[in-house]
Structure 1
Amino acid sequence: MTLDFAAVRENLFPASHEAIGDWLTFPWHRDRTNKIQAHKVHSSQAIAIDVFGTLKMSIDRDRVLDAIARHVGVSPGGPWSIALEWTDTDRLLGEPRPTQVDALAIGSKAALIIECKFTEPGGKCSQASGSRTRQPQCNGNYIEQANPGSGVRSRCTLAGKGIRYWDYIPKVFALDPAANYAPCPFAGDAYQWMRNVVLAAAIGEHWNLKAAAVGAFADHPSFPTARKARRGLLDPSLGGQATITPISYQEIIAMACHVGLDQQLWNDLAAWVEQKIAKASLRFDSATTAN
């Protein structure tokens, strides 16, 4: 085992280790130098593995996932399975690089598409951003325009590339795909949450399950996603039946303590997560002050 993995193991709750499987081939989040990031105290992947990896290996998996399913409004019913860093190999949304879901839980009646956050906000659409080598491909509005790179005309640059988000958006949001919106309703960090909502719709349709999108987050007043979760991860003015239900790691562990049999496990995990959040908040607050 490399030093990289030794540091990662130290940063993961011990009961979650067996959920990794093959540590060499597991799709670790990496930086630009290809270094694994899960050794860092504020790693969103690490805290997701702490909680959902432990849940995957626990005797209480079905009980806890039934409780989460009820919380987000879908039918409980096991047996449940959990896949960490699940990739949509069926390419249901037509993405050249399919969305990688932090955790996917599948039961007999429902599926939970789980996006996990720690200290970071949601991700934004890259099409309206330029770089040193590429000009923006979208003007930030959902309005007919020509992609300056390809010349393809569409209201959404991604739709012009064959990506099917707007095939599903009208099914789950109160938005008309033939209307103009300025700015695009998914121009900000709503973009990442939207991707999970439409993927849930696509998975539910494909597998004939009731599917729900879940935003798991570390609840601390300093963290952007936690602050946003209190207001709603998506703007309620988008309407329709579209929801991504926020649920904190602390709430998930509290549910496990309530319905689970292995009380020592969940008490230990609660202490581990609280200590990690406390350390990460000190680092986050220091970095924010410095900036």
Structure 2
Amino acid sequence: MISDFQAVRENLFPASHGAIEDWSKFPWHRDRTNQIRAHKAHSSQAIAIDVFGTLKVSSDRDRIFDAIAERVGVAPGGPWAVTLEWTDTDRLLGEPRPTQVDALAVGSAAALVIECKFTEPGGQCSQTAVSRSGEHQCNGNYEDQINPGNGVRSRCALTGKSIRYWEYIPEVFDLDPGVDHTPCPFKGDTYQWMRNAVLAAAIGKHRNRQSAALAAFADHPSFPTARKVKRGQINPALARQGAITPISYKQIIAIACQVGRDRALWDELSAWIDHKIARAASRKPGFQEVGNGC
């Protein structure tokens, strides 16, 4: 463990430090040896704190989140409360291990579920992986099948475990839960985006607010999420438009520059993010430095 968090602090934009109330209790991402990963230059958690931690403590917070809300098609209206590494303790989706998202922003009329990516792809469903018993709990299709791990028959192994994704999927993705889908429409890293989209829907219903799911990403052609955004593949092929709204960190900072009052702060954050992207991509072929400033 990094005892004094010095390396972590040095890797976080200085203005974001105030967003972390207790550094020893904050839910840091850790590696297999229990070391905090946020000291690494390519840390996804660190760049998320850079941007959304700075927004959380900024005097420009409400006007910036109002502008982001309007951009993604939900109602503006503050005050906005921002929680970093928010966990669904209400277990709205019935998950045994509730989803944790990088940031949740809640205003008076809307909630934004924000998943952040840097150099890594999205997460995949574990049910198609080989379990400890050497079997797959799902065959990769959404079709009637028996989970060999628990003997439950269902089209989705997660539904068979009382996880409620498919209660929200019909509305969010316009998919019929009563027919087969081959392969499962949420194969690969589409699974993580689906989870965030249905969580946003569940939060909206629970809190009586409009809701939206955002994919915040570092924009560079060598990064997986950025490539998917450019190819229009952030949403599943059958999804309704707007199930997940991709927005780059540079776009967020541009919004801050446009509507915020602390121009110097957002210029500094822009340069900080540019430098991080440059460091992470510097060994990639064809890298080109991105411009600084608003």
Listed as ranges, the matches of 1:1-291 within 5 Å are 2-3=2-3, 5-131=5-131, 134-230=134-230, 231-235=232-236, 237-240=237-240, 243-283=243-283
* Structure 2 Cα separation of the partners of residues 116 and 2 of structure 1: 23
Letter in 1 for 2:180: N
Change (3 A) 1:43 1:284: farther
Identity of aligned residues (%): 69
Cα distance, 1:138 vs structure 2? 0.6
Letter in 2 for 1:141: N
Cα distance, 1:50 vs structure 2? 0.1
* Structure 2 Cα separation of the partners of residues 71 and 242 of structure 1: 11
The 8 Å contact of residues 2 and 36 in structure 2, kept in 1 or not, is answered as: no
Cα distance, 1:149 vs structure 2? 1.0
User: Segments of 4+ in structure 1 off by > 3 A?
Assistant: 1-4, 131-134, 239-242, 283-286
The 8 Å contact of residues 111 and 209 in structure 1, kept in 2 or not, is answered as: yes
* Structure 2 Cα separation of the partners of residues 211 and 132 of structure 1: 38
Which deviates more, 184-193 or 130-139? Answer: 130-139
* Structure 2 Cα separation of the partners of residues 131 and 174 of structure 1: 31
The 8 Å contact of residues 173 and 242 in structure 1, kept in 2 or not, is answered as: no
Q: Deviation per CA, 1:132-168: give whole Å up to 9, x if none.
A: 5542211000011111111111100000001000011
The 8 Å contact of residues 172 and 241 in structure 1, kept in 2 or not, is answered as: no
Cα distance, 1:187 vs structure 2? 1.3
* Structure 1 Cα separation of the partners of residues 241 and 168 of structure 2: 12
Letter in 2 for 1:234: N
Gaps of 5+ in 1: 287-291
Change (3 A) 1:170 1:242: farther
* Structure 2 Cα separation of the partners of residues 91 and 285 of structure 1: 43
The alignment yields a C-alpha RMSD, in angstroms, of 1.6
* Structure 1 Cα separation of the partners of residues 168 and 272 of structure 2: 39
Letter in 1 for 2:203: I
* Structure 2 Cα separation of the partners of residues 160 and 60 of structure 1: 45
The 8 Å contact of residues 118 and 217 in structure 1, kept in 2 or not, is answered as: yes
Cα distance, 1:239 vs structure 2? 3.8
What SS does the aligned partner of 1:213 have? strand
Cα distance, 1:285 vs structure 2? 5.9
* Structure 2 Cα separation of the partners of residues 179 and 154 of structure 1: 12
* Structure 1 Cα separation of the partners of residues 88 and 11 of structure 2: 28
Letter in 1 for 2:198: V
Letter in 2 for 1:8: V
* Structure 2 Cα separation of the partners of residues 19 and 86 of structure 1: 13
Report the counterpart of residue 291 of structure 2 in structure 1: none
The alignment's TM-score, normalised by the length of structure 1, stands at 0.94
Gaps of 5+ in 2: 287-294
Report the counterpart of residue 289 of structure 1 in structure 2: none
The 8 Å contact of residues 197 and 242 in structure 1, kept in 2 or not, is answered as: no
The 8 Å contact of residues 138 and 156 in structure 1, kept in 2 or not, is answered as: yes
Report the counterpart of residue 290 of structure 2 in structure 1: none
Letter in 1 for 2:250: Q
The 8 Å contact of residues 2 and 35 in structure 2, kept in 1 or not, is answered as: no
* Structure 2 Cα separation of the partners of residues 87 and 117 of structure 1: 18
Q: Deviation per CA, 1:168-222: give whole Å up to 9, x if none.
A: 1011112111101111000111100000100011010110000000000000011
Cα distance, 1:232 vs structure 2? 3.7
What SS does the aligned partner of 1:42 have? coil
Change (3 A) 1:41 1:285: farther
* Structure 1 Cα separation of the partners of residues 132 and 195 of structure 2: 27
